[in-house]
Amino acid sequence: MGGISMISQRRGQMNAPATTTNNQSELWFRDGDQALIKSLASGKDDIAYLQLYRYRDGNTFKTVLASIYDDQKDEFVLPEGLTIDGVPENLNLSHQFALWTYVDEVFHTDKRVESWEVVSGKTGKEMYKEVIQDFRVIKLTFGRGDIVFGQFEEIFNDEGSLDKSPIRIKRTGAGMQDTNYHINSLNRELEIPEDKKAEIANLPSINQYCIDTWGVKAGTEAEKTADELFS
Protein backbone atom coordinates (compact mmCIF):
# COMPACT_ATOMS: atom_id res chain seq x y z
CA MET A 1 0.00 0.00 0.00
CA GLY A 2 1.16 3.54 -0.53
CA GLY A 3 0.23 7.16 -0.96
CA ILE A 4 0.08 9.81 -3.66
CA SER A 5 3.66 10.98 -3.13
CA MET A 6 5.19 7.51 -3.01
CA ILE A 7 3.32 6.25 -6.07
CA SER A 8 4.09 9.43 -8.01
CA GLN A 9 7.80 9.09 -7.23
CA ARG A 10 7.79 5.42 -8.21
CA ARG A 11 5.95 6.14 -11.47
CA GLY A 12 8.46 8.86 -12.28
CA GLN A 13 11.28 6.35 -11.89
CA MET A 14 9.50 3.79 -14.05
CA ASN A 15 8.65 6.30 -16.79
CA ALA A 16 12.14 7.77 -16.95
CA PRO A 17 13.88 7.11 -20.29
CA ALA A 18 16.43 4.22 -20.21
CA THR A 19 -11.15 -10.85 -14.65
CA THR A 20 -14.07 -9.48 -14.85
CA THR A 21 -15.58 -9.59 -11.37
CA ASN A 22 -19.20 -9.00 -10.45
CA ASN A 23 -18.18 -7.83 -6.98
CA GLN A 24 -20.67 -5.16 -5.95
CA SER A 25 -17.99 -3.33 -3.98
CA GLU A 26 -16.40 -1.95 -7.15
CA LEU A 27 -17.65 1.00 -9.19
CA TRP A 28 -17.43 0.52 -12.96
CA PHE A 29 -17.57 3.45 -15.37
CA ARG A 30 -19.06 3.46 -18.86
CA ASP A 31 -18.82 6.13 -21.53
CA GLY A 32 -20.47 9.32 -20.25
CA ASP A 33 -20.82 8.22 -16.62
CA GLN A 34 -20.21 10.87 -13.95
CA ALA A 35 -19.78 9.89 -10.29
CA LEU A 36 -19.93 12.12 -7.23
CA ILE A 37 -17.72 10.59 -4.55
CA LYS A 38 -15.96 11.25 -1.27
CA SER A 39 -12.59 9.56 -0.99
CA LEU A 40 -12.00 7.48 2.13
CA ALA A 41 -8.31 7.50 1.25
CA SER A 42 -6.35 10.50 2.37
CA GLY A 43 -3.74 9.76 -0.27
CA LYS A 44 -0.91 9.46 2.24
CA ASP A 45 -0.57 5.68 2.62
CA ASP A 46 -3.94 4.18 1.73
CA ILE A 47 -3.92 3.65 -2.03
CA ALA A 48 -3.14 0.27 -3.60
CA TYR A 49 -0.59 0.26 -6.43
CA LEU A 50 -1.17 -2.89 -8.48
CA GLN A 51 0.14 -4.99 -11.31
CA LEU A 52 -2.61 -7.05 -12.94
CA TYR A 53 -3.01 -9.53 -15.76
CA ARG A 54 -6.20 -9.54 -17.83
CA TYR A 55 -6.98 -12.23 -20.38
CA ARG A 56 -9.80 -14.13 -22.02
CA ASP A 57 -10.86 -17.25 -20.16
CA GLY A 58 -13.46 -19.04 -22.27
CA ASN A 59 -16.27 -16.58 -22.96
CA THR A 60 -15.25 -14.12 -20.25
CA PHE A 61 -12.27 -12.00 -19.27
CA LYS A 62 -10.33 -12.76 -16.13
CA THR A 63 -8.34 -10.32 -14.00
CA VAL A 64 -5.51 -11.76 -11.90
CA LEU A 65 -3.39 -9.93 -9.35
CA ALA A 66 0.29 -10.19 -10.26
CA SER A 67 1.72 -8.07 -7.43
CA ILE A 68 1.14 -5.18 -5.05
CA TYR A 69 3.69 -2.48 -4.34
CA ASP A 70 5.18 -2.79 -0.85
CA ASP A 71 6.53 0.60 0.22
CA GLN A 72 8.49 -0.98 3.08
CA LYS A 73 10.42 -3.21 0.67
CA ASP A 74 10.28 -0.64 -2.16
CA GLU A 75 9.26 -3.29 -4.65
CA PHE A 76 6.27 -5.13 -6.07
CA VAL A 77 5.49 -8.40 -4.29
CA LEU A 78 3.07 -11.24 -4.90
CA PRO A 79 1.25 -11.71 -1.57
CA GLU A 80 1.95 -14.95 0.25
CA GLY A 81 -0.32 -17.81 -0.74
CA LEU A 82 -1.16 -16.40 -4.18
CA THR A 83 -0.03 -17.63 -7.59
CA ILE A 84 0.08 -16.53 -11.21
CA ASP A 85 0.96 -20.00 -12.52
CA GLY A 86 -2.29 -20.30 -14.46
CA VAL A 87 -1.81 -17.05 -16.37
CA PRO A 88 -0.94 -17.38 -20.08
CA GLU A 89 2.60 -16.44 -21.08
CA ASN A 90 3.61 -13.23 -22.85
CA LEU A 91 0.86 -11.05 -21.39
CA ASN A 92 1.55 -7.40 -20.67
CA LEU A 93 1.16 -6.23 -17.09
CA SER A 94 -1.39 -3.51 -16.43
CA HIS A 95 -0.37 -0.95 -13.80
CA GLN A 96 -3.39 0.31 -11.88
CA PHE A 97 -4.28 1.97 -8.59
CA ALA A 98 -7.27 1.49 -6.31
CA LEU A 99 -8.87 3.28 -3.37
CA TRP A 100 -11.95 3.10 -1.18
CA THR A 101 -14.59 5.78 -1.75
CA TYR A 102 -18.08 6.72 -0.64
CA VAL A 103 -20.17 7.03 -3.80
CA ASP A 104 -23.14 9.36 -3.43
CA GLU A 105 -24.63 9.15 -6.92
CA VAL A 106 -23.75 8.36 -10.53
CA PHE A 107 -25.21 10.05 -13.61
CA HIS A 108 -25.59 7.96 -16.76
CA THR A 109 -26.29 8.93 -20.36
CA ASP A 110 -28.59 5.96 -20.95
CA LYS A 111 -31.27 4.44 -18.76
CA ARG A 112 -30.24 0.87 -18.01
CA VAL A 113 -32.32 0.54 -14.84
CA GLU A 114 -35.95 1.60 -14.61
CA SER A 115 -35.61 3.12 -11.13
CA TRP A 116 -32.97 5.68 -12.21
CA GLU A 117 -34.34 9.22 -12.02
CA VAL A 118 -34.41 11.42 -15.13
CA VAL A 119 -32.58 14.71 -14.56
CA SER A 120 -31.43 17.57 -16.77
CA GLY A 121 -27.79 18.58 -17.02
CA LYS A 122 -26.52 22.16 -17.30
CA THR A 123 -26.96 22.03 -21.08
CA GLY A 124 -30.47 20.63 -20.79
CA LYS A 125 -29.39 17.15 -21.83
CA GLU A 126 -31.27 14.36 -20.08
CA MET A 127 -29.26 12.10 -17.78
CA TYR A 128 -30.24 9.29 -15.45
CA LYS A 129 -29.33 9.46 -11.77
CA GLU A 130 -28.41 6.32 -9.86
CA VAL A 131 -28.36 6.84 -6.11
CA ILE A 132 -25.77 4.60 -4.44
CA GLN A 133 -24.81 6.18 -1.10
CA ASP A 134 -22.50 3.34 -0.22
CA PHE A 135 -18.85 2.39 -0.24
CA ARG A 136 -17.19 1.32 -3.48
CA VAL A 137 -13.64 0.61 -4.61
CA ILE A 138 -12.53 2.60 -7.64
CA LYS A 139 -9.74 0.96 -9.66
CA LEU A 140 -8.27 2.84 -12.61
CA THR A 141 -5.32 2.62 -14.97
CA PHE A 142 -2.78 5.42 -14.74
CA GLY A 143 -3.55 6.63 -18.25
CA ARG A 144 -1.15 7.74 -20.95
CA GLY A 145 1.57 9.83 -19.36
CA ASP A 146 -0.09 9.09 -15.98
CA ILE A 147 -2.80 11.64 -16.84
CA VAL A 148 -5.49 9.87 -14.77
CA PHE A 149 -3.41 9.44 -11.63
CA GLY A 150 -2.01 12.94 -12.13
CA GLN A 151 -5.45 14.45 -11.56
CA PHE A 152 -5.69 12.78 -8.17
CA GLU A 153 -2.16 13.96 -7.47
CA GLU A 154 -3.15 17.54 -8.32
CA ILE A 155 -6.06 17.41 -5.85
CA PHE A 156 -3.75 15.98 -3.20
CA ASN A 157 -1.15 18.70 -3.76
CA ASP A 158 -3.75 21.49 -3.75
CA GLU A 159 -5.68 20.35 -0.68
CA GLY A 160 -3.14 18.26 1.22
CA SER A 161 -5.49 15.26 1.21
CA LEU A 162 -7.92 13.47 -1.07
CA ASP A 163 -10.69 13.23 1.53
CA LYS A 164 -11.38 16.92 2.17
CA SER A 165 -13.65 17.81 -0.76
CA PRO A 166 -16.07 15.76 -2.83
CA ILE A 167 -14.67 14.61 -6.15
CA ARG A 168 -16.32 14.26 -9.54
CA ILE A 169 -15.10 11.53 -11.89
CA LYS A 170 -16.32 11.53 -15.48
CA ARG A 171 -15.48 8.99 -18.16
CA THR A 172 -15.58 9.79 -21.86
CA GLY A 173 -14.90 7.23 -24.57
CA ALA A 174 -15.90 3.61 -24.97
CA GLY A 175 -12.69 1.93 -26.16
CA MET A 176 -9.18 1.41 -24.86
CA GLN A 177 -7.68 4.04 -27.16
CA ASP A 178 -10.24 6.85 -26.77
CA THR A 179 -11.16 6.60 -23.08
CA ASN A 180 -10.39 9.58 -20.86
CA TYR A 181 -11.19 10.39 -17.25
CA HIS A 182 -11.82 13.92 -16.01
CA ILE A 183 -11.33 14.21 -12.25
CA ASN A 184 -11.74 17.33 -10.14
CA SER A 185 -12.61 18.36 -6.59
CA LEU A 186 -15.79 20.33 -6.01
CA ASN A 187 -16.47 23.38 -3.86
CA ARG A 188 -19.48 21.88 -2.13
CA GLU A 189 -20.36 19.73 0.84
CA LEU A 190 -20.78 15.98 0.81
CA GLU A 191 -20.99 14.42 4.24
CA ILE A 192 -20.99 10.68 4.80
CA PRO A 193 -24.02 9.82 6.97
CA GLU A 194 -23.19 8.88 10.55
CA ASP A 195 -24.63 5.38 10.21
CA LYS A 196 -22.37 4.77 7.20
CA LYS A 197 -19.32 6.16 8.98
CA ALA A 198 -19.75 3.42 11.56
CA GLU A 199 -19.27 0.84 8.79
CA ILE A 200 -15.88 2.16 7.67
CA ALA A 201 -14.01 0.29 10.41
CA ASN A 202 -15.38 -2.99 9.06
CA LEU A 203 -14.13 -2.45 5.51
CA PRO A 204 -11.04 -4.48 4.57
CA SER A 205 -7.89 -2.52 3.82
CA ILE A 206 -7.61 -1.63 0.15
CA ASN A 207 -4.71 -4.07 -0.22
CA GLN A 208 -6.74 -6.86 1.36
CA TYR A 209 -9.69 -6.09 -0.90
CA CYS A 210 -7.44 -6.40 -3.96
CA ILE A 211 -5.99 -9.67 -2.72
CA ASP A 212 -9.44 -11.11 -2.01
CA THR A 213 -10.92 -9.91 -5.31
CA TRP A 214 -8.19 -10.53 -7.90
CA GLY A 215 -5.71 -12.80 -6.13
CA VAL A 216 -5.64 -16.48 -7.15
CA LYS A 217 -4.79 -18.81 -4.30
CA ALA A 218 -2.27 -21.52 -5.05
CA GLY A 219 -3.90 -24.89 -5.68
CA THR A 220 -7.42 -23.55 -6.22
CA GLU A 221 -9.78 -24.72 -8.95
CA ALA A 222 -9.46 -21.33 -10.63
CA GLU A 223 -5.74 -21.86 -11.05
CA LYS A 224 -6.18 -25.39 -12.39
CA THR A 225 -8.85 -24.33 -14.88
CA ALA A 226 -6.69 -21.56 -16.32
CA ASP A 227 -3.62 -23.82 -16.35
CA GLU A 228 -5.48 -26.52 -18.29
CA LEU A 229 -7.01 -24.01 -20.69
CA PHE A 230 -3.69 -22.56 -21.78
CA SER A 231 -1.35 -25.55 -21.47
**Radius of gyration of the CA atoms of the chain, in A:** 18
What are the pLDDT digits (tens) for 2-55?
788 777 776 665 544 333 344 579 999 999 999 999 999 999 999 999 999 999
What are the pLDDT digits (tens) for 143-160?
999 999 999 999 999 999
> Rounded to two decimals, what is the model's pTM?
0.85
pLDDT over 90 percentage in the chain = 76
Residue 60 to residue 161: CA distance in whole angstroms: 38
Please give the pLDDT value at position 20. 34
Q: Which amino acid belongs to residue 168?
A: R
Buried b (16+ CB within 10 A) or exposed e, 126-141: ebbebeeeebbbbbbb
